[in-house]
Amino acid sequence: MGALAGIAAHTLVIEIGGVAVLVRTGSAEFLGMLQARYSGFVNSHARPLCELEVELVPPGKISDEDEVAVRFIAGSWLIERGDLRVTWDPVSGQGSIRQSANPYSIDTALRIIHSLILAKRGGLLVHAASAVRNGKAFLFAGVSGAGKTTISRLAPPDATLLTDEISYLRRNGHGYLAHGTPFAGELAKVGENVQAPLAALFLLRQAPENKIQPVREGEAVRALMESILFFAHDSELVNQVFESACDLARRVPVFRLSFVPDHRVWELIA
Amino acid sequence: MSAVYIARATTVAARALDGEMMIMSAKDSTLFTLNPVATVIWQAADGQTPLVDIVEKKVCAEFDVAPAEALQDAEKFVGDLANHGVLLVSKEPIAAAKPVAGAKP
């Protein structure tokens, strides 16, 4: 039990995209905060791939890194930002997080750890909204302001929102599965914990008329690389992420979706 | 001027897509898309052929460009990619270059 020996430890297993992470904390209050935030993604029966021990400290600067820094040192990943310090051994799966009692720092830690796990497995975390309609998943990528939140807000009742912010993709047979995530954006709404085969990737652009145009493979890869969440300066993993982007662009149809921000855009998506 | 040899770094990933050569610099996560002339230089960067020969025998043979101008452009391109760790540059032949993307082993 290490640092928690002698005091009660509370645990929670958060499963996203089929990858379960056990979080251990000495604070029942913090655990309650996590249970509320990740409610649709808590699965006490899942077998955790990682175990993270949270050390809560008073609010304040924990690292000198202003931006997220991800490094591989002596067999472990070190993730640092001003508000958190994470170490995680990818072989044993054991790790620790030092942060104050807030839900945002651990959210960042989970995103980055998932991005590292996915990179090894040919999957991707993409800065994109995604939704399921008629059993098929659709991804909506674009720079800030391109319309990810807007198209999520306009989704019809028969569409299930996977996320308005961070999409989770895993290789599956000859294609990809899109999974729901609890990583919310401006909508502040946690995605549904469901999955579906990825049918298309749309590159968003708001315009005076609705229009869908196919995108060439090279352009699709460039757009994807701009949207993929990956912070580690690790040549092997960077190359794997690039190969995954190329693979996805080859296997999944990619379109430019120019749209008027009203409900009619969803008539094009089915 | 002494000969300059160039080789594709073994740590980069490269893909030919739609006739475009795309190269990922793992050093700083920069994605390059090469134009046709740069693609010829990249594919010829075997570590054994001097840059001046690549320009004369490959670039000038395939494109309508004067050798001096082509060499000047090539040196700039090589310098840019070397700064990103994508190309290795040496005054001596370089032992191993990354195989060209799509080439059979």
Taking chain B (105 residues) in runs of 10, the rounded mean pLDDT of each run is 87 87 87 93 95 96 93 95 93 80 45
- B16-25 pLDDT, tens digit per residue, is 988 889 999 8
Q: Is the pTM of this model over 0.90?
A: no
- Contact call for A242 and B27, based on CB within 8 A: no
Q: Quote the DSSP letter at residue B27.
A: T
Q: Which residue does chain B place closest to A215, by CA atoms?
A: B18
Domain A124-268 fold: Phosphoenolpyruvate Carboxykinase; domain 3 (3.90.228)
At residue B44, what are phi and psi to the nearest 5 degrees? Answer: -90, -5
3 state SS of B98: coil
List of chain B residues whose C-beta atoms are within 8 Å of the C-beta of residue A225:
24, 31
Phi-psi category of B14—alpha, beta or left, where left has phi over 0 and alpha has psi -120 to 50?
beta
Pairing, β A94-99 against β A84-88: antiparallel
Chain B residue with Cα closest to A216: B18
Under an 8 A CB cutoff, do B11 and A235 touch?
Answer: yes
d(CA A74, CA A93): 15
Output the CA–CA distances (angstroms, integers) from residue B40 to A3, A234, B58, B70, in the order listed: 58, 28, 7, 12
Angstrom distance (rounded) from CA A141 to CA A203 = 5
Residues 6+ apart with CB under 8 A from B38: B21, B77
Q: Which two tokens stand for residue A112?
A: 């980055």
User: A218-240: per-residue pLDDT in tens?
Assistant: 999 999 999 999 888 888 899 99
Name the helix (H) or strand (E) containing A204: strand A195-206
State the Cα–Cα distance between residues B98 and B105, nearest whole angstrom: 11
Q: Where are the domains of chain A?
A: 2-120, 124-268
